[in-house]
Amino acid sequence: MANIRQYIGARYVIKIYENSQDPSSAEWEQVNYEPLVMVTWQNGSYLSKKEVPATVGNPASNPNYWIQTGFYNGQIASLQAQIDTINNTTIPGINNSIDDIEDDITEINQKLSEVENKKYIFIGDSYGADGGSVPERWITLTARYMGLTENTDFWRAATGAIGFNSGGFLTALQGIENDIVDKNAITDIVVMGGYNDAGSTLDILVAAITSFCTYCKTTYPNALVHIGEIGWGTDDNVRKEIVNRVIPAYKQGAVINGGVYHDKLYYATHDYDNFIYNSGNYGIHPLDYTEVSYLIANALKGGDATFNKAARIDNDKFSTDLTGASFTSNTYMNQEMFGDVITLFMQLQMNLNNESIPKNSPFSLATIADNCGVFQPNDNYMSYIVDAIAIINSGGTTYDDIVRLSIDSNNTIRIIESEARTNVTSILIQTVHVTVPVPLG
């Protein structure tokens, strides 16, 4: 008979516990346990390391009796919770985002379609009438920059010496009415002017703009009226009229009649080096309409119309009433204009004939010529006050002084605060960089 070997001793095979209340479950309950019994507790699995009396609490709190062998159910529960979050929150959020993106695409396509289908009428004075020494003016250039085709995408009417006053712009618009077959297709009527409205009262201009807009609403019911003031020049009286009457009237007339006033365009022609001077020595018409046309085109597309220009005034534009005084070639003023703000820097170097500079009392040094650079002081801003460093040769001694200058409405530069210096033979003044508002008139 064969020998049969039999093991007698402690059990070494793991036993899965059967819960007394639910034999299909291995969930721990407070009873006695043999060694190597596997139970579950709060989504974890535990193995008894030795005999466990019934008085011992749950496996998680009694590591002397139990060792954790896994947390699989907890991981599954966590994954399930993450899946639930994805299903209930993330996916609907993504779907909503996709819906929003699709709505945005639809809106963009609609706006692109509107832009592509825009039809314009441009109305202007001589600034818009091509010909003469400047063959292409703002209407032609603006249409080109916007990619418009005449008699398909835009129509024009521009005549010299007209404005809103006396119905000039209205008559010009009425004159092309028969050229436009589909009047409902016109989306924008653009009027740029200003110079020829100088001299009219605000009330007269607002009434004329109202008549113009009323005609537009009746004849071109889908059109938005755009108004801009671009007229400028070197005649100080005309500039004051434009500032004090024309601009306020254009703004008021546009707004009360449901139109748009483009205020930033006003600064685009404030460049005195860009004017044609007639026999009366007044500059009325720009030599170049490129900058203002770019800004008009950008404004009509909803973009920025801020004017940016830099200019340098050299020593030949400076003069003085001081006997025997002269300017060196190092004398200049830099002007950088951005929108309605200008940054100035001036260096003034002069040889003087033993002049005496009083302490803190006005002393006239020089005058800048009219109509140069991109701005001029004026009656609305009586003077600009500028701090500067002055290197003064007085009686053979050199002084570094801090002085204060004014540049008044006549372009005269004066020292208004300084130390007293006598027998001055030379002076070098350098201003700090100063930011000032653009003069309105």
Closest CA to 430 of 311, 349, 363, 364: 349
CATH number of this structure's domain 311-437: 2.60.90
To 10 degrees, the CA torsion angle through 308, 278, 287, 155?
Answer: 110
Residue 271 reports pLDDT greater than 60: yes
pTM of this prediction exceeds 0.75: no
**Helix (H) or strand (E) segment spanning residue 383:** strand 383-394
**Could you state, in order of their start, the residue ranges of all structural domains in the chain?**
15-70, 117-306, 311-437
438 in Cβ contact with 420 (< 8 Å): no
AA identity, residue 235: D
Which CATH superfamily is 15-70 part of?
Carbohydrate-binding module superfamily 5/12 (2.10.10.20)
DSSP 8-state assignment for residue 302: T
441 has a pLDDT exceeding 90:
no
* Residue 48 · residue 70 · CB < 8 Å: no
CA neighbor of 301 nearest in space, from 247, 262, 249: 262
| Tokens (6 digits) for 142 | 């603006």
Query: Could you give the CA distance from residue 155 to residue 174 in angstroms, rounded to a whole number?
Result: 12
Distance CA 413, CA 416 (A): 9
**Helices 247-256, 202-219: inter-axial angle, 10-degree rounding:** 40
CB 232 within 8 A of CB 269: yes
Residue 396 or 270, more confident? 396
Residues 134-190 pLDDT 10s: 889 999 999 999 999 999 999 999 999 999 998 999 999 999 999 999 999 999 999
Amino acid at 249: A
334: which 2 tokens? Answer: 């830099």
- Is the separation of the CB atoms in 405 and 354 below 8 Å? no
Q: How far apart are CA 144 and CA 151, in angstroms?
A: 13
Q: Which residue has the higher pLDDT, 269 or 228?
A: 228
Question: 2-6, 310-314, 406-410 — which is least confidently predicted?
Answer: 2-6
The yes-or-no verdict on residue 300 having pLDDT over 60 is yes
What is the average pLDDT across 287-312? 85
pLDDT tens figures, 4-32? 666 565 666 888 899 999 988 889 999 99
The DSSP annotation for 22-38 comes to: -TT--B--SS-B-TTEE
Percent helix, strand and coil across the chain, each to the nearest 5: 30, 30, 35
Q: How far is CA 116 from CA 109, 111, 119, 383, in A?
A: 10, 8, 9, 49
Q: What are the residues facing 42 on neighbouring strands?
A: none
**Top-level CATH class of 117-306?**
alpha beta
Q: Kind and range of the H or E element at 162?
A: none
Give the separation between CA 434 and CA 404, rounded to whole angstroms.
12
Highest averaged pLDDT of the listed ranges 32-41, 62-71, 165-174, 240-249: 165-174
